Chain A
Amino acid sequence: DTGVSQNPRHKITKRGQNVTFRCDPISEHNRLYWYRQTLGQGPEFLTYFQNEAQLEKSRLLSDRFSAERPKGSFSTLEIQRTEQGDSAMYLCASTAGAEAFFGQGTRLTVV
């Protein structure tokens, strides 16, 4: 499978715990995006990388959230001290041009 891969697909965590998600983009795609989607809403932009540089962050990305893309390949999104409001689907997308390809997402449930 050469599409965007996200792991894990599902994560259940207790409030206050830290979680980390991984995104493997399509090989040689230089741009990578993270989105968050809650029930009934469209995906909301969180942050964007061009190669290893994080070029833009949404105000939705509080200081409990951090994203990295070492060496411009895979990316990780970490949420520290999770809250129930963090429960959502976290989507990753990559692109090298006009068309963005999305992964299947990681569904986070904070209990």
Chain B
Amino acid sequence: DAKTTQPTSMDCAEGRAANLPCNHSTISGNEYVYWYRQIHSQGPQYIIHGLKNNETNEMASLIITEDRKSSTLILPHATLRDTAVYYCIVRALGGSQGNLIFGKGTKLSVKP
């Protein structure tokens, strides 16, 4: 079973920041928080991952709370092409624990 809970759906206005929350209260010390997204009819696409520090890349920022029990993915300036299902996943790196367990994700709709 997925170790994360996410809202089923969210809306965001084009050009505004999209903030997608995720709860992972049972995360272990060696587990990272990963975010993937899936645009309709395509395979999932990696966005970002982190352990305990906040992370930023060209796509998004990841904010992880100090107790690591929740996180937020931030798309700073959402565009229509960001409409997708966003998955928050916790996983340990390496070994047979490395597979990704997907939940149902959050369906983000970016509206003009």
Contact = CB atoms under 8 A, between A and B. Distances in A.
Interface residues of B, number: 20
B2 interface: yes
Interface in B1-25: 2
12 contacts: A42-B2, A42-B102, A48-B96, A48-B98, A91-B44, A93-B100, A98-B32, A101-B46, A102-B43, A102-B44, A102-B45, A104-B43
**Interface SS, A side:** strand
Contacts of A101: 46
Interface of A: 4, 31, 33, 35, 40-45, 48, 55-56, 91, 93, 95, 98-105
Given A42-B2, A42-B87, A91 B98 contact: no
B104 A56 contact: no
